[in-house]
């Protein structure tokens, strides 16, 4: 399987590594939205958020909070985003699960400016019912 993030984990490809342990590695994104844009990934290959086993997801989230704190305290941005893109339609381009930590500055180039919708009468409840019927704990 051809996966650039697996290559980074295995040190077959270079990366500016911020941190690693047995399960997780964090490195700088090669094409940052803002300088210091970091990625946090499981060392094992899972294609997306839904494929992550809970124990490894717990570790990825824990390390994502630690790296976010380091990005925030070292670079002093005005804020930061933690995001994960899932599926091509959502902007995913590397199909090895990862969180982005993106330092943000007031009036920087990055923006979500969606055309926000309104729910028609009653449809909000319909959407909630559909989703609730698939919640499996």
From the candidates 37, 45, 96, 98, give the one annotated as an active-site residue: 98
Query: Distance of CA 62 to CAs 44, 84, 119, Å?
Result: 16, 15, 35
Shortest distance in whole angstroms from residue 33 CB to ligand 5GP: 8
In the complex, the smallest distance separating the C-beta of residue 91 from ligand 5GP, rounded to whole angstroms, is 5
Question: Cβ 122 to ligand 5GP, closest distance in Å?
Answer: 35
Annotation marks residue 100 as catalytic: no
Specify the residue, 5 or 27, whose C-beta has the smaller distance to Zn ion: 5
- The set of residues, in sequence order, having a beta carbon less than 8 Å from that of 20 and lying 6+ positions away, is 26, 43
Residue nearest to Zn ion (CB): 3
Q: Choose the contact partner of 2 out of ligand 5GP, Zn ion, none; CB within 5 to 8 A by kind.
A: none
Residues at the contact surface with ligand 5GP, assessed by CB under 6 A: 4, 13, 15, 27-31, 85, 91-94
> Which residues, in sequence order, are bridge partners of residue 38?
28, 101
Catalytic residues: 98
């Amino acid at each position: 399987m051809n996966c650039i993030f697996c290559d980074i984990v295995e040190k077959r490809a270079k990366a500016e590594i911020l941190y690693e342990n047995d399960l997780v590695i964090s490195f700088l994104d090669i094409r940052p939205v803002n300088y210091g844009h970091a990625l946090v990934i499981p060392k094992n290959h899972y294609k997306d958020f839904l494929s992550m086993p809970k124990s490894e997801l717990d570790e990825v989230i824990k390390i994502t909070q630690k790296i976010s704190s380091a990005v925030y305290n070292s670079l002093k941005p005005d804020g930061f985003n933690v995001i994960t893109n899932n599926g091509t339609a959502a902007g995913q381009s590397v199909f090895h699960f990862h969180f982005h930590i993106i330092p943000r500055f007031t009036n920087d180039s990055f923006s979500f400016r969606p055309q926000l919708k309104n729910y028609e009468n009653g449809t909000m409840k319909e959407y909630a019912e559909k989703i609730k019927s698939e919640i499996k704990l």
